[in-house]
Amino acid sequence: MFRRPPPDQPVEPARRLAVGRLTLEIAGWSVVGHRYPENFDVLHVDPELPLAAVADGMGDGEGSRVAGRTAITSFVERVRAGWPTVGAAELRAATAETQLRVRRAGAALAGLTGCTLTALVAEPEGGQGWLVQLGDSRAYRLRDGLLELVTVDHTMAWLGVVHGWWPATSPEAARARYQLLRYVGHPDRPEPDLLAVPLRTGDTWLLCTDGVSDQLDYHRLRDLLAAGRDPARTATALLSATLDEGGDDNATAVVVRVHPTVPAPR
C-alpha cells in the first residue's frame, strides 16, 4: 500500500489508466536526501484506480513514520471502498476517517503524530479530478507552458507572505514554515481543501512534498516538467535535481500526464 524506495532503487515504469476519453500516465519516486537517516515521506500510485497521493511526516520520529503510513493506507482504502463514486462528500468522509485513524495510532506515542496529505483522484468518466489538501505538500499543474501552484500551504509562512507580514526569504518566514495550521493528526481534525479541477489532454500534474518545492525554484520545476520526458523519467529528474541542490529533506514526486484515450481497433 505504501512505499519508501531508497535513492538507488530505479523508479517503476509509469502506469497508464483509462478514465473515459482520457488516459492518465502516472509515476512516482521518493528519495531520502542527505539530511535524514531514513525517509518519512510516503507515496501511493494506485495500480487500478486513477488515484495518487503523497504524505510527509512531521519530524523524524516514530510519530512521523506512523502518521504517513497510516494516512496513506487509510485514505486509499476508503477511496477504493467507495469506488466508483467520487465527489466532495466521499472525499471528506475518507479524510475524516484518515484523521481518526492517525489520531488513534498516535495515542500511545509520546511525540507528535502528524503528516501532510495531498492527493489527486480522477472521476471514472474522465474530464474532472479532485485534489485533497492538508498541510504543505503541493499540487502543481503545467498547462500550455504555464506552471501554476494549485494548492495552498496550510502554514503560518503562507499567511505571512500572502498578507505582507514579512518577505518570503526572511528569517520570520523560515521559522513560520514549520508552523502547520492544518495537517493529518491535528487534535481538531480539520477538514481538507477539496478542489474540483478539470483534466485536459496535454496537462502535466505534479504532487510533491516540500523536499521538492523548497529545494527547486519555480523555473527549475517548470523546465523539468516541460522537458518532454515520460513521467518516470521526469520524477527521476526532479528528485535527482533535489539531491544536486543539497538534498536537505526527504523528497517525493508523483508526475501525472494526461493523454487522449486511443480507441481500440475494430
The alpha carbon of residue 40 and the mean position of all alpha carbons in its chain are separated, in whole angstroms, by 13
Residue 16: all three cell numbers together: 497508464
Each domain of the chain, given as residue ranges in start order, spans: 15-260
Whether the per-residue pLDDT at 11 is higher than 90: the answer is: no
Whether the per-residue pLDDT at 5 is higher than 50: the answer is: no
Whether the per-residue pLDDT at 104 is higher than 50: the answer is: yes
Position 262 scores a pLDDT of 74
Q: How far apart are CA 140 and CA 255, in angstroms?
A: 10
- Each residue of 54-80: pLDDT tens digit? 999 999 999 999 999 999 999 999 999
Q: pTM of the prediction?
A: 0.94
* Averaged pLDDT of the chain: 94
Whether the per-residue pLDDT at 216 is higher than 90: the answer is: yes
Position 266 scores a pLDDT of 62
The 10 Å Cβ neighbour count of residue 89 is 11
Nearest to 91 by CA among 73, 76, 69: 76
H or E element: which one contains 212?
helix 210-213
Task: Indicate the angle between helix axes 218-225 and 231-244, nearest 10 degrees.
Answer: 150
Average pLDDT over residues 235-240: 96
Q: Which CATH architecture has domain 15-260?
A: 4-Layer Sandwich (3.60)
Nearest to 68 by CA among 183, 182, 214: 183
How many residues comprise the chain? 266
